[in-house]
Amino acid sequence: MDYIREQIYLAGLLHDIGKFYQRADESGASTSKNLSDNVKGLERIICPLHPVSKKYSHKHVLWTAQFFEDFESHLKQYLMFTPEFSYDAMLRLAAAHHQPTSFPERIIRKADHYSSGADRSVSTEAWKDAEEEGDKKWDAFKRISMRSVFDEVSLTESKKISEIHKLPISEIKLDRSFFPEQSDSENTYEEVWKKFIAELQLIQSRDCHSFNESLLFLLEKYMSRIPASTINLPDVSLYDHLKTTAAFAISLYDYVVDKHYFQSETLPDKDEKPFALIGGDLSGIQQFIYNIIARGAAKNLKGRSFYLQLLVDNIVQLILNEFALLSGNIIYASGGGFYILTANTINLPEKLKKLEEKIVEHLFNAHGTSLFLALDYVPFGEADLFYKEGSSRTIGDIWKELSDKLSAKKSQRFSHLLSTKFKEFFEPIAVSPEKAKDAITGEELSEGAYKLDKEDNGRGALMINKTTYQQIELGKKLKDADYWIFSQKELSYFPDKAFEPLGLNLYNYFVSEIRLKEYEERLKGSADNVRVLRINNTNFLQSASKGINNVYGFEWYGGNKYAINQFGEPKVFEELSGITLNAPNSKEDAKRESGPSLVRLGVLRMDVDNLGTIFRRGLPESKRSFSRYSTLSRSLDYFFKGYINTIWKDNKEFSMYTQIIYSGGDDLFIVGKWDVVIEMAYAIQKEFKEWVCHNPDITLSGGMASVGPKFPLLKAATYSERFEKAAKDYITDKSAKNAFSFINYTQYISGKPQEITMAFNWPNEFPYILQLKEYIKVLLYKKDIAEGFPSAMYNLMQQADFYYDEKERRYLPKAVRVIWLTAYQFKRSAQEKSDAAKSFYKSWVQNIMTGRIDEVPDTSYHALQLLATAARWASLEERSKL
């Protein structure tokens, strides 16, 4: 019955397409020029009758039916090639979900309810979309824009939405025009609908599976900012609703078939658990990425980072293949973690366990104990999806249960391998200092080592392991790649060798548009269901290759482009730090030509605060649905995997002196010239704040370590993690987290040096010290203050011996005498200097004495600490000038 299964999934994807079409129609059902007489005649068949008014409601299904009639010839040409695939049955399956008569139609109706998290069969709210043409302002819903899901997130029960943020009616555009606004969109549904139907006709697949997969990408492109419902809170996109409905539909179908319910046309009862949420978490990511020696870091870092995304993506595809699922079943996949919706069938536990053991063994064989995949699932049912006050288990609990199970798995890493690979785990390994090492990772060379393309200053060839070589090649490919091609068979006609992580028989190619055109004809005739994804570009159906039965789509990737030096090579860390290098005979013996007097590499880490809590309880219980969670996670991914590239390329300094090593999910890792990295961190924070509608419960914290360009990256990453932790732990009277840490100082306590790491909250402290830093730079440039002023302030801050008072929740000086002397010296200086200097010193006398600054009401720091920080920052920037 596979043909029924494919039709049910497709019907789920298209069951509410009429909502979009209806809003693009200027008229109502009775006067519409878009609806044919035949479709209008279906009103009494597929539209439910209101129990009170006795009028037909949910008329959007008429436009769903019209959609199928409009595209009848196209759909018949490409999909109706099997006698079982009935066009009329397909139309009814999608359009009759509010008035079902067949068992498959009832499956679609249930999936629709499960996706929205509302039991509409008993809800009076279901009748509110009657949209009667005779009613006053009946067509107001056609002008309603989608609301941002971030408006609804709250970690405090008392929070009320003060401002409403509306999303533009638009296809995906990762620029400023895609940001939320407080005004209605200038675009109309009709404009976007016309673009959608024009592209829909470019899908030319004679295979239902590949048609469904390509259609999903097209729905995402055009319906991510179209509300699924204009009733109550329209903050769920039509794309997410259609996607999760299709996922529930095919999972419900698989369950009823597995339970032999299909023949008796029986749906599971409310106490059954027909669904399962599969979760995966790849751990060891950060250690894996950063565990490379400085000399080869720039060569390998980008490819090494993307290798992990490639690995996770291929693992997800392996799971989809194992359970015959489609991309719509992926609820979330980013940042080393993923969640997949499937049926809770009898063989699920055994199949998933075998799959987990297979993947973990392949991971161990390739990478030892450095990487581990935890894989598990949680079953759930209707009682968990439909919110009722006092419910013992909600969707938030499902996520938490799965998270706890994955955490438990990670605490028992490789347990199933202990008996079969006892020797590898417990017997000592002989380590010889004489044995050759991988020139980039420092690991011992294994058999089949590769030679790098350059010599090492006459000391012989640099050798690397096979995986290191593949990662370097992957990094090179990414720079010029326009397409990511995925196949379950090796494409022998591609001259480049495929990237096949872990030997799972999944093949990945990265090619430019020019290269793809060269092999267009061969790709058209290649194995079915080759997946061709355009990188960071949604014009995927106008691609160079339109093969029958291939899947076409797009993929976001944060940081596929990077800074290039004058020789056309990717910049090494020294160059990112501001040094210009002579043309080298080899990349390893490049000589310094010019650069700033202070050369430092900034290593930045940032992520969203309290994200786990946001997913567990950030949405009101009554509004927790799979489609809303999907909208929330995807919206974050758009920023970190998509819009981050816009921030980088639109600023000349960012694109010249920084490299995005990783960005996706809810976090990022960036290296570059230290002062430029700080500027970029602030730009990212400001843009993110607007992206999440200035919601105070959705914030971003980060930390940056400044190191020499040859400093070991693993240690630098550890330092930046320490700075990030300082930002995460930072608390003031009015805020927690939402901070940035990039500077520290040494303070002697009982004669022993202690490192004090400072963090500054984004709303108050950071903007103030940034502005103060710029003013001090002006004073230094004009010689209104002495060149040694920054050093003097830094020394005074040390001598003041500040400590954190838990009761006051602020820093106080032990050596109060230092504060008095500083204020006294400032008062004297105000009498001797220029007018600008006088004004500066006078304003700071009161600040130093009181310890407070009027412009910074929410801070835990003493005024001297803020002044010393700004002065030191100004001095370091002056020394870092190019």
Mean pLDDT of the region 122-133? 44
Contacts of 423 (CB under 8 A, 6+ apart): none
The pLDDT tens digits of the residues spanning 237-253 come to: 999 999 999 999 999 99
Nearest partner of 608 among 496, 477, 700, judged by Cα = 700
Average pLDDT of the residues in 646-671:
93
pLDDT at 404 over 60: yes
Helix (H) or strand (E) holding 813: strand 810-813
Query: Contact 599/709 with Cβ under 8 angstroms?
Result: yes
Q: Return the minimum-mean-pLDDT range out of 297-311, 453-467, 548-562, 854-868.
A: 453-467
pTM (2 d.p.): 0.91
Q: Which residue has the tokens 């993307």?
A: 306
> Tokens standing for 730?
């930072």
Residues 6 or more apart in contact with residue 351 via CB below 8 angstroms: 322, 323
What the block records as the tokens of 808 is: 């006051």
The residue ranking higher by pLDDT, 486 or 440, is: 486
- Report helix, strand or coil for 810: strand
- Is 789 a residue whose pLDDT tops 70? yes
E-state strands within 174-304? 275-283
Q: What is the mean pLDDT of the chain?
A: 86
**What pLDDT score was predicted for residue 120?**
45
Q: Which range has the worst mean pLDDT, 202-216, 572-586, 675-689, 832-846?
A: 572-586
Question: Angle at the Cα of 763 (from 175 to 609), degrees rounded to 5?
Answer: 70
Rounded distance, CA 686 to CA 682, Å? 6
pLDDT of residue 122: 41
Positive or negative, the CA dihedral 819, 823, 824, 825 is positive
Contacts of 327 (CB under 8 A, 6+ apart): 213, 216, 320
Span 730-782, pLDDT tens digits: 998 888 999 999 999 887 766 678 888 999 999 999 999 999 999 999 999 99
Determine the pLDDT at residue 543: 61
The CA dihedral of 576, 578, 583, 584, to the nearest 10 degrees, is: -60
Classify 831 in phi/psi space as left (phi over 0), alpha (psi -120 to 50) or beta.
Answer: alpha
Strand partners of residue 664: 667
In order of start, what are the domains of the chain with their CATH numbers? 2-172 (no CATH), 275-426 (3.30.70.2220), 764-882 (no CATH)
Sign, Cα dihedral of 324, 330, 331, 335: positive
How far, CA to CA in Å, does 49 sit from each of 58, 59, 83, 366? 9, 11, 34, 61
Q: Which amino acid is at 337?
A: G
